[in-house]
Amino acid sequence: MVLAKVVKLEMQSVPRVVRPWENSLKVNLLQMIRFLAERFFSASSALQEFIHNPLLPRKQEEANRLRDWIDSIHDQCALFGLNLSVYKAREILYALDTGQCTPSFLQPALKELHQRIEQELASEWFKYVPRNKAQYIEPGRFDVHALAAFGFDTQIEFARAGECFALGLNTATVFHLMRIIDAGLKSAAKALGITYTSEAWKTVTNKINEEMQKKYHLKTDEWKKSEPFYAELLTDIGAIGKAHRNPTLHDLKVNYSEDEAQYLLIVTEAFITHLSKGGLREA
């Protein structure tokens, strides 16, 4: 019967718990310090105390403290997805609860649990985001009305561009921005009643210039109202510069500096904001 329970324990799967940073792959320094200091540093100290004592706790109070520590460590390991450590903690808890925990079992078991925790923590890697770039990776940075109104996919692409910039991936930032700009040009082409093509930069600007250069009496009333909007759109497109799109996608030798990536991030956000305020949406 006891053997059956042990087998069942070993075969029991660890529940898939989403770790604090897993959905966004982001965690700040304060979260990490709190996790390490409040949980594993103190747990490590407690484990070492019991590891160095070759005997089982003789007082019930000490025995309860040991069990509470292992139980707490188990829960924290489960929360952070340290599955091998969870299995070992369960094994120790089961031995304590069934009266099968002996000094010869406890000391090496605690040592192994401590080693597993260190090894599994060491396998998680985080990339540093400097303070001056933190705004680009913070949740909600691009959760602004104009971007949300233009379109959800574009808003998500902005978040990806922001994360790339925060992590120092400048060329990847520009890649995501070019996708956003294409979405913006596609919506502008649709509003202008022209076909969207790979040459959208040229077709959109040519169409706007063509309409603007018409004599005033030949312009429609609708165009007269919207002309200031499209005049500003020309300025936006000029600020972005059409020379970026093809090299970013097709030339491996083209790379962007931090300043260039940040500049394009700023002007692209202004471009989409302008389109959105003019009533344009993802095509």
pLDDT in tens, 60-118: 777 787 888 888 888 888 877 889 999 999 999 999 888 888 778 888 898 899 889 88
d(CA 103, CA 111): 12
pLDDT the model gives residue 172? 93
> In 3D, which of 195, 122, 164 has the Cα closest to residue 264?
164
| Residue 247, pLDDT score | 63
Q: Is the pLDDT of residue 7 over 70?
A: no
Model's pTM, two decimal places?
A: 0.72
Helices (H), the chain: 2-11, 29-35, 42-51, 60-79, 83-97, 103-122, 145-150, 152-166, 170-192, 200-212, 221-240, 245-250, 258-277
Q: Dig out the tokens for 18 from the structure.
A: 């989403």
pLDDT at residue 42 is higher than 70 = no
Report the range of poorest mean pLDDT among 91-95, 115-119, 136-140, 241-245: 241-245
Closest CA to 153 of 137, 176, 175: 176
Q: What was the pLDDT predicted at 99?
A: 82
Position 4 scores a pLDDT of 39
Per the structure block, which two tokens stand in for 217?
């009496």
- What single letter denotes the amino acid at residue 111? K
DSSP state of 22: T
| Mean pLDDT to the nearest integer, 237-251 | 69
Q: Which residue has the higher pLDDT, 36 or 265?
A: 265
Rounded to 10 degrees, what is the CA torsion of 128, 130, 136, 137? 30
pLDDT for residue 58 is more than 70: no
Q: According to the model, what pLDDT value does residue 21 have? A: 45
pLDDT at 53 over 80: no
Pair 157, 181: CB distance under 8 Å: no
Quick check: 14 pLDDT over 50?
no
Asked if the model's pLDDT at residue 179 lies above 60, the reply is yes
Which class for 245: exposed (0-12), middle (13-18), buried (19 or more C-beta within 10 A)?
buried
Lowest mean pLDDT among 34-48, 129-143, 213-227, 266-280: 34-48
For the chain, the residue count is: 283
- Rounded to the nearest integer, the mean pLDDT of the chain is 82
pLDDT at 39: 62
Q: Who has greater pLDDT, 265 or 4? A: 265
216 CA to centre of own chain? 51
Mean pLDDT to the nearest integer, 252-266: 89
C-alpha separations of 241 from 124, 234, 238, 244 in Å: 40, 11, 5, 7
Query: Residues with Cβ < 8 Å from 67, sequence gap 6 or more?
Result: 93, 96, 97
Vertex 183: Cα angle to 255 and 220 (nearest 5): 130
Q: Looking at the predicted structure, is the pLDDT value of residue 15 above 60?
A: no
Confidence at residue 267, expressed as pLDDT on a 0 to 100 scale: 93
CB contact burial 59-73 (16+ within 10 A = b; e otherwise): eeeeeeebbebbeeb
For the four alpha carbons of 196, 198, 200 and 203, in that order, the dihedral sign comes to negative
- Provide the pLDDT for residue 266: 94
pLDDT of residue 60: 72
Mean pLDDT of 180-195: 93
Domain boundaries of the chain, sorted by first residue: 2-122, 131-277
